[in-house]
Structure 1
């Protein structure tokens, strides 16, 4: 038979449980009782607005949420809201939400939410914590914004971009073929034809690198950076595989627009070095060092080990003019050539914003 002290302890524990439950219910109803002003504001917003307790328990949704989802009022309180997500998106949504609850960091995730039509539509979910005077989180206020139309438009544009990229690649191949056909019928055109085909091939490699045909290729290639792009351009040069044409220094992201002038500039420099400069000698070397100076990216091209330079050239060919034009006009930079006894040195500075496309 229970003793009087044990009965007293049971009653005390039961009282504490009821008190905790009452406190919980008061917390859940606090926002609803806070006044009509918040409700009026939340209900007039074009986005879905929701609120949770500090532990992430949902206790409020505005009118837009119920209109959008078609869910009965109160049916998505607590953790029932997660059932409104597409099953494939729930793990990532939960992962990010739990991380925000643990750290207090802002919450942001894209997921598919079930529309009242029964279809799943992409939405952007965001939430920020409300911090009290004691520096503790009092609650979370979040929104859901329908981004389905933007997602569809982005997907359509990506398909068009991939189709255009494929056609551009074919155009490069057609042009190279036309040049070869013309050179076969004109002996005097064969040497300039090879030069022109080399430039077109460099453009093609750069284009292929910055505009892969699909997401799978993009995942393999990774982010487009200057050092990776230059490695792609130099890959066809024996001196690069022999480690006589070296790249070092810093790195920077490269946008689509900058890839073309970069390909032209460094293809021209490497080709000229192979014909007339350091890379024409078996032991010749070229070092390309990349660095950053505030809003400019600096390139130092240093040749050594080639034939000694007694006097600098008196004129410049079309290739040199092409390099100059690409640097100054398309990349917003400057270029200086120093004809040192040990070999050519080129100091080039271009705008970082032009390279990244920002």
Structure 2
């Protein structure tokens, strides 16, 4: 350890490996080298060579065509729906939600200047009603249990998360990372994070609601997405705007799809259709065209990959303890990258 530390200081290396070969004669050979070659973590084994540790793999969504559609949000309708939402909550709870004072137009302008992004008109209109939903240490969780961030907290989140840049966990974890497309397809950029995503709500667990100001080709500015800790494979599409999201909340209240928990209302979403983007297990006879990943484990016979040609957006194929009888380029295409 003392020798390694001396070499680190002398060469400026972050880490040092020592290899010693000893012979019966007493002769030995000592080689010290920088850890450009490392073992790959996980069960797959193997080695990786990182010649430039500062280089980060580009996010596929950065190269997608931008959206050209107009925003779906409507500031007047959003205000009407928000006030109706508060009134119905008050009827259910027997009291009005206590909210902070509204933000001023000047404060919103300053927040947008610091963000480097203009808020969607419908979200901006809500801040003119209340500056988030927190009073002191108490929050109302108006966005289906998510705390609505004040302008100050919204800007702070932006600063803390590096202006929306994708997180980088190092080459050990990122060399085979895949970012999936969301549903509907081509609405949100295939990125782990993006400067155009402005987080305005948090579930206090590292996950966020965000407005997307820079959507993919089939998306609309101001659409709502979920991103954060549990969305390392890509963001999740929620709604086309804050306006439509509030309309959905009103529908849930009208349907009685909620539970009262003390002074809070928990909105209950209907059961979702199964996620057809991933398959774990055997390959079905008919593969949905939406499949983007499949994990085959412990197959007892040869696995026929031919059905996967029906999934043009397949991006990750993992096989563990099994054999296949089809060349992978027939599945992914000769010019298609699995990333």
TM normalised by structure 1 equals 0.22
Larger RCO, structures 1/2 (Cα 8 Å, 6+ apart): 2
Specify which structure has the higher proportion of helix. Answer: 1
Structure showing greater Rg: 1
